[in-house]
């Protein structure tokens, strides 16, 4: 399933999707960036409530298919612009991280 299809199926808000046709392969959730950095795999959907700009740096290095900001968190200033420049897909939802992971598991 692509990022664009994922957002449509589960009604995730699209904040920034420079690569809508990227395939999603599994998921990971976590908010401690170093922990995530060591375990997030290329192609994963990464579910997090962290909304600062370092999230984009972690994604730029670990290469997830997309970031899903859960719990309706608001990205800090400059996050969307950095995501666009780095080619990082960024989605958002009011659902909890648990519920998003359940949805990701249902399509894996």
Which residues of the chain form contacts with other proteins (CB under 8 A)?
31-35, 37-38, 42, 50, 52-55, 57-58, 60-63, 78, 86
Taking each continuous run of H as one helix and of E as one strand, the counts in the chain are 5, 5
Q: Smallest distance, Å, CB 62 to other proteins?
A: 7
CA 21 centroid distance within chain? 14
In the complex with other proteins, which residue's Cβ is closer, 88 or 100?
Answer: 88
Tokens, residue 17 = 């999707």
- Please identify, using beta-carbon distances, which residue of 43 and 107 lies nearer to other proteins: 43
Nearest approach, Cβ of 54 to other proteins (angstroms)? 6
In the complex with other proteins, the residue whose CB is nearer, 40 or 45, is 40
Q: How many residues in total does the chain contain?
A: 108
Chain centroid to CA 18? 13
Largest CA distance in the chain: 33
CB of 44 to other proteins, least distance (A): 13
């Amino acid at each position: 399933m692509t990022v664009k299809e994922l957002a449509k199926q589960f009604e995730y808000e699209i904040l920034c999707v420079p690569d809508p046709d990227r395939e999603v392969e599994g998921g990971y959730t976590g908010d401690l960036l170093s922990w995530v950095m060591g375990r997030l795999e290329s192609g994963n959907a990464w579910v997090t409530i962290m909304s600062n700009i370092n999230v984009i740096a972690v994604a730029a290095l670990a290469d997830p298919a997309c970031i899903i900001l859960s719990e309706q968190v608001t990205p800090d200033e400059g996050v969307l612009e950095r995501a666009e420049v780095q080619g990082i897909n960024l989605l958002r939802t009011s659902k909890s991280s648990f519920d998003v992971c359940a949805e990701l598991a249902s399509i894996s």
